[in-house]
Amino acid sequence: MNPAPSPGARNSATLPTARRLILGSTSPYRRELLQRLQIPFEVASPAVDETPLPGEAPVALARRLALAKAHAVAAAFPDAVVIGSDQVADLNGQALGKPGNHANAVAQLRQMSGQSVVFQTAVAVVCLQSRFEQTDLAAVKVQFRALGDEEIENYLQAEQPYDCAGSAKSEGLGITLLASIENDDPTALVGLPLIRTCRMIQAAGIPLLPARKDQP
């Protein structure tokens, strides 16, 4: 069973939501993104094996893991609305996940140099008590510049993005590695597509813009 969720972002100016909202993720990037909504939420770690299945396509992998993470946390907190998310970099059908270390990050960036990569970011929202379940996916097409080995090394030494799918932080220095970005959900590349997330948690019963206590 997952440990009790830790506080994520609690805005004292807002009234409590109808249900608890829990982010089923240990990612600091997703936590920061969800804080932008100014909705009280908690954080719990999902115990999910992220190993791809044999022959599993990047889109299928991202969707499966997002839903698995949401369900893993929802099993411990069935009355809560739980968000799960996962991102997989899709390079010509090959799934690239988090590099985990410097050598893997170098290899990934060499592979993506001069290439078009689609970052598949899936989000799932689950509430077991109300039998609510929705999933969605935001695809972000990223064109990488042709990268030299010195550029790759300098970037990795500066930002060390070893916990990011595709070995680059677009919200940071990683933007210098890119030629273009095409998407319809601006935060998807960072790790959580907020437009889709807002639509889904609202459907699950979480008010997006609750009345504030300081209003007359």
86 part of the active site = yes
Tell which residue, 163, 162, 138, 20, has the closest CA to residue 85: 138
pLDDT at 110: 97
The CA distance from 16 to 80, in Å, is 13
Condensed to tens digits (0 to 9), the pLDDT of residues 17-39 reads: 468 999 999 899 999 999 999 99
Condensed to tens digits (0 to 9), the pLDDT of residues 145-188 reads: 999 999 999 999 999 999 998 999 999 999 999 999 999 999 99
The CA distance from 141 to 160, in Å, is 22
Catalytic residue among 49, 79, 86, 149: 86
- In contact, 26 and 47? CB cutoff 8 Å: no
Residue predicted with more confidence, 11 or 37: 37
DSSP single-letter state for residue 169: -
